[in-house]
Amino acid sequence: MELRYDPKEIDRKWQDRWDKDGLHRVDNDDPRPKWYEMTMYPYPSGDLHIGHWYAMAPADCHARFRRMQGYNVLHPIGFDAFGLPAENAAISRGVHPYSWTMSNIENMRKQLRSIGAIYDWDREIVCCLPEYYRWNQWLFLKFFHQGLAYRAKAPVVWCPSCQTVLANEQVINGSCERCGTTITRRDLEQWFFRITQYADRLLDFSGLLDWPNKILTMQTNWIGRSEGVEISFDISDKGLEQKEISTFTTRIDTIFGVTFIVLAPEHPLVADLTTEEHREAVEAYVDQARRTSEIDRLSTDTDKTGVFTGSYAVNRLNGEKVPIYIGDYVLMTYGTGAVMGVPAHDARDFVFAQKYRLPVRIVVAPISWDGSELTEAYLGDGFMTNSGAYDGMTDEEGIEAISADIEKKGWGRRTVSYRMRDWLVSRQRYWGTPIPVVYCDKCGIVPVPEDELPVLLPTDAEYIPTGEGSPLASNAGFLNTNCYRCGGTARRETDTMDTFFDSSWYMLRYTSPGYSDGPFDPAVKDWLPVDQYTGGAEHAVMHLLYSRFFIKGLHDMGVVDFEEPFLRLFNQGVILGEDHEKMSKSRGNVVNPDEVVEGLGADAVRCFMMFIGPWDQGGPWSEVGINGVARWLNRVWDIVVREPSDLDAANVDPESVRDTIRLLHQTIRRCHNDLDRFKFNTAIAGLMELANHLNRVWAEGSIDSATWRECIENFLLMLAPIAPHVTEELWERTGQAYSIHQQAFPSWDDALAAEDTITLVVQVNGKVRDKLEVPANIEEAAAQELALASPKVRSYTDGKSVSKTIYVPGRLVNLVVQ
């Protein structure tokens, strides 16, 4: 393609100029209203992918649009620099994670600059640097002192490949979110954050202004709140210290249908309840369950297996003895790790009962039930039956009555269970923030005092994981220390923090990245919270949930005065390869943005990212597609550099001038509304239409030079947030004062945008039969008269009677004929 201008030269020229002039420096004291628009910071993999462009270029356009609307805009950038991938890559290349990460960042800064975004680089944050992670430690201690961080032994998720524990949120289909390895469980003592204490507040989305429903649904499902009853079964005849087994159910109305109890294989009572006769079988089963992979164990396809313990428990409501089984479909990590088996009204219990020939007793009768046996569990509503005093109640009434009675008798209590577990924040890896506590033989867990922070991550440590705990444990200089309380010998915590810790509060740090007396400067708190956040939907139940929790915690501690970190959220889609498949090296469909920028310029890539389709839908890369927008930018160049005085006043057609002004105002309105709602593709389409129109009237010579100038000026202003480099250049070439990016977005006049004629569609029985050009303000009677007079229409109405006429002002007349 032959270019009218050299995008490479223009990109460089203006990027240097903006840098030199500090055009993107954000002033905290600017009197204009603030707008904090943030995009998820990238992981410094070392190479800026086209996916980064897809996330960042439209986000920058939106932030620029807000700035042109008169806001003081903070649109920052940083690097998510800690974490497993950096470490793994560093290990395989034999370079230190620090130097690997920092050289990647150096490279990515250059690539990011090529986007031409309004990032204020003075506010950049890099969370693997001590000036950032010391505040991770400071915040960790805040949560610790608040009782929201605790250390406990629990069955945790372990990735054998990454050699570390993971949070539940990092397990995807039983595999490690990062490397895909099937995870296992380990009983380990770990650091947790009490996110479950905030479960109900996290379910309350009323503090959010505009979030995709999809994310709200995902968070709601992840938290998985269920109201139910904890009900205990009597095992006092076993002579054990533990006199009862507690189970959790949401269907206490089915308590009379219990025909067995199932314990999770890891349940602490398993060994005690197993009789001699069944010991061998039970031990074999438990052993087997322990070896079964998490994937198989959680697969819904596998049938329900179990083994009888030989013991029985008593259902206190009817005095019945029911057998106690062990089954791996019961999870130790949910509820009490034991369930009451009600085969008639639970699909899983039904399958289990069939397999082990356990009785099925219906206690909630289906509506019109004829008394016959069930072929599957009945989960619907009905009237209680076989339930003693509760017979005849609806199941809803049954839940109320039985719950109340159980509480009265002390056999159980109403409670709420959550699917979500506490957030496991410790990792057995090197490349992360050291957890700021020491272990003293005398004093136990001792937090590092605030004024001793940061606890520096030693640079001379072994960072290759051994599988025998954290790499830092083998670094004597780090490990051995003195107790901050008694001064005696102590060991440092050698686990590091989950990297989601970094991103849980980074929106605070951007407001004052150099501040050294706290995580952020309270003097600039007016920036917060974030007005608009953009990023991928894959963080729905990880980063976005953690961050909401974190900020609520900090709110309760008085660190911040708001409860939601991100008021509005927009999820962009995924950019696909030219073959419509997900981009991957193995498919060979990866696009290198640097090469395209080199050839066609940053603005062409920006435009294409926005023109490809709705931003939330993603879409396929297209070589010919980007050539199309590059060609359009050249056409724009060609049109804009024309000399307006070449227009000959003698040819001016007032009607054409009016049409042009009207289209200009319509385009301003459309472009404004579209950019406001992230509808970049239709905003660009509108600008293309305006450019086509201008090109046409130029050829006709039908407008005057003043109108031409007005159109060109406004056109450039509208294009400026989309294509900042070429518009700045053209702004200069058309004799306007630097910088176009400090101008206001054009405003429109509805009166000038109004059409004075419309195309009146005439339908007969809903089918279009004619189109008439009529004055926009036509009255109904006149419109009908014109419609009926149309010869085309008459051929359909002649000899028939018009029984009804529908008139839609400004649009159509529909004649209903018999």
- Contact positions with RNA (CB under 7 A) in 139-198: 172-173
Q: How far is the CB of 816 from RNA (least distance, A)?
A: 5
Instruction: Confirm or reject binding of residue 632 to RNA (CB under 7 A).
Output: yes
Instruction: Confirm or reject binding of residue 769 to RNA (CB under 7 A).
Output: yes
Q: CA 243 → CA 179, 223, 236, 272, distances in Å?
A: 45, 32, 4, 11
Q: How far is the CB of 478 from RNA (least distance, A)?
A: 35
Rg (C-alpha) for the chain, rounded Å, is 34
Instruction: Confirm or reject binding of residue 766 to RNA (CB under 7 A).
Output: yes
Those residues with Cβ within 8 angstroms of residue 666's Cβ, 6 or more apart along the chain or in another chain:
748, 753
Those residues with Cβ within 8 angstroms of residue 286's Cβ, 6 or more apart along the chain or in another chain:
265, 266, 270, 326
CB 791 within 8 A of CB 769: no
Instruction: Confirm or reject binding of residue 226 to RNA (CB under 7 A).
Output: yes
The residue among 62, 117, 2 whose CA lies nearest residue 630 is 2
Q: How far is the CB of 764 from RNA (least distance, A)?
A: 9
In terms of CB distance, is 165 or 687 closer to RNA? Answer: 687
Instruction: Confirm or reject binding of residue 242 to RNA (CB under 7 A).
Output: no
Q: Which string of x and - marks every residue 529-568 that binds RNA (by CB under 7 A)?
A: --------xx-xx---------------------------
617: how many CB neighbours lie within 10 A of its CB?
11
In terms of CB distance, is 26 or 50 closer to RNA? Answer: 50
What residues between 412 and 441 interact with RNA by CB under 7 A? Answer: 417, 419
Give how many residues touch RNA by CB under 7 A: 91
Those residues with Cβ within 8 angstroms of residue 720's Cβ, 6 or more apart along the chain or in another chain:
64, 68, 727, 728, 731, 740, 741, 743
Instruction: Confirm or reject binding of residue 499 to RNA (CB under 7 A).
Output: no
Helices (H) and strands (E) in the chain, counts: 26, 33
Q: Which of 641, 761, 788, 802 binds RNA (CB under 7 A)?
A: 761
What residues between 604 and 623 interact with RNA by CB under 7 A? Answer: 611-614, 617, 619-620, 622
């025998």: which residue's tokens? 468
Instruction: Confirm or reject binding of residue 329 to RNA (CB under 7 A).
Output: yes
Q: How far is the CB of 463 from RNA (least distance, A)?
A: 29
Which range, of 82-90, 378-386, 424-432, 633-641, touches RNA by CB under 7 A?
A: 633-641
Q: How far is the CB of 441 from RNA (least distance, A)?
A: 38
In terms of CB distance, is 271 or 295 closer to RNA? Answer: 295
Between CA 43 and CA 48, with CA 45 as vertex, the angle to 5 degrees is: 90
Q: How far is the CB of 790 from RNA (least distance, A)?
A: 11
CB 189 within 8 A of CB 151: yes
Q: How far is the CB of 680 from RNA (least distance, A)?
A: 10
Instruction: Confirm or reject binding of residue 366 to RNA (CB under 7 A).
Output: no
Q: How far is the CB of 802 from RNA (least distance, A)?
A: 11
In terms of CB distance, is 130 or 573 closer to RNA? Answer: 573
Instruction: Confirm or reject binding of residue 108 to RNA (CB under 7 A).
Output: no
In terms of CB distance, is 48 or 261 closer to RNA? Answer: 261
CB 741 within 8 A of CB 724: yes
Instruction: Confirm or reject binding of residue 2 to RNA (CB under 7 A).
Output: yes
What residues between 55 and 94 interact with RNA by CB under 7 A? Answer: none
Q: Which of 80, 120, 328, 493 binds RNA (CB under 7 A)?
A: 328
Q: Which of 92, 206, 213, 375 binds RNA (CB under 7 A)?
A: 213
Which range, of 184-192, 439-447, 494-502, 753-761, touches RNA by CB under 7 A?
A: 753-761
The Cα 256–Cα 385 span in angstroms is: 9
In terms of CB distance, is 139 or 231 closer to RNA? Answer: 231
Q: CA 269 → CA 233, 235, 309, 339, 351, distances in Å?
A: 13, 11, 10, 13, 24
Q: How far is the CB of 344 from RNA (least distance, A)?
A: 12
Q: Which of 8, 414, 635, 709 binds RNA (CB under 7 A)?
A: 635
Those residues with Cβ within 8 angstroms of residue 636's Cβ, 6 or more apart along the chain or in another chain:
691, 715, 719, 726, 730
Q: Which string of x and - marks every residue 785-814 that binds RNA (by CB under 7 A)?
A: -------x-----------x-x-x--xx-x
Tell me the β-bridge partners of 525: none
Q: Which of 335, 434, 553, 601 binds RNA (CB under 7 A)?
A: 335
CB 678 within 8 A of CB 724: no
Instruction: Confirm or reject binding of residue 726 to RNA (CB under 7 A).
Output: no
Segment holding 631, helix H or strand E: helix 623-640
In terms of CB distance, is 551 or 683 closer to RNA? Answer: 683
The residue among 142, 335, 171, 313 whose CA lies nearest residue 233 is 313
Q: How far is the CB of 216 from RNA (least distance, A)?
A: 10
Instruction: Confirm or reject binding of residue 578 to RNA (CB under 7 A).
Output: no
Q: How far is the CB of 539 from RNA (least distance, A)?
A: 11
Instruction: Confirm or reject binding of residue 346 to RNA (CB under 7 A).
Output: yes
In terms of CB distance, is 523 or 768 closer to RNA? Answer: 768
Q: Which string of x and - marks every residue 33-52 that binds RNA (by CB under 7 A)?
A: --------------------
The Cα 727–Cα 717 span in angstroms is: 8
Which range, of 31-39, 81-89, 95-103, 244-252, touches RNA by CB under 7 A?
A: 244-252
234: how many CB neighbours lie within 10 A of its CB?
17
Instruction: Confirm or reject binding of residue 763 to RNA (CB under 7 A).
Output: yes
Instruction: Confirm or reject binding of residue 719 to RNA (CB under 7 A).
Output: no
Tokens of 772: 């008439």
Taken in order 19, 22, 26, 32, is the CA torsion positive or negative?
negative
Q: Which of 93, 357, 585, 767 binds RNA (CB under 7 A)?
A: 767
Q: How far is the CB of 656 from RNA (least distance, A)?
A: 15
Q: How far is the CB of 249 from RNA (least distance, A)?
A: 3
How would DSSP label each residue in 434-494?
A: BP-EEEETTTEEEEPPGGG---PPPTTS--S--SSS-GGGG-HHHHEEE-TTT-SEEEE--
Which range, of 51-59, 178-186, 473-481, 764-772, touches RNA by CB under 7 A?
A: 764-772
CB 337 within 8 A of CB 264: yes
Those residues with Cβ within 8 angstroms of residue 762's Cβ, 6 or more apart along the chain or in another chain:
768, 769, 770, 771, 772, 787, 790, 792, 793, 812, 813, 814, 815
Q: How far is the CB of 633 from RNA (least distance, A)?
A: 10
Helix residue spans in 211-264 (DSSP H): 213-223
The Cα 480–Cα 469 span in angstroms is: 16
The Cα 86–Cα 93 span in angstroms is: 11
Q: Which of 102, 188, 218, 661 binds RNA (CB under 7 A)?
A: 218
What residues between 680 and 709 interact with RNA by CB under 7 A? Answer: 681-682, 684-685, 688-689, 692, 695-696, 699
The Cα 498–Cα 620 span in angstroms is: 34
Instruction: Confirm or reject binding of residue 759 to RNA (CB under 7 A).
Output: yes
Instruction: Confirm or reject binding of residue 584 to RNA (CB under 7 A).
Output: no
What residues between 271 and 310 interact with RNA by CB under 7 A? Answer: 297-300, 302, 304
In terms of CB distance, is 142 or 672 closer to RNA? Answer: 672
Taken in order 504, 510, 514, 516, is the CA torsion positive or negative?
negative
Between CA 381 and CA 389, with CA 387 as vertex, the angle to 5 degrees is: 115
Q: Which of 210, 319, 410, 624 binds RNA (CB under 7 A)?
A: 624
Q: How far is the CB of 220 from RNA (least distance, A)?
A: 9
Tell me the β-bridge partners of 166: 157
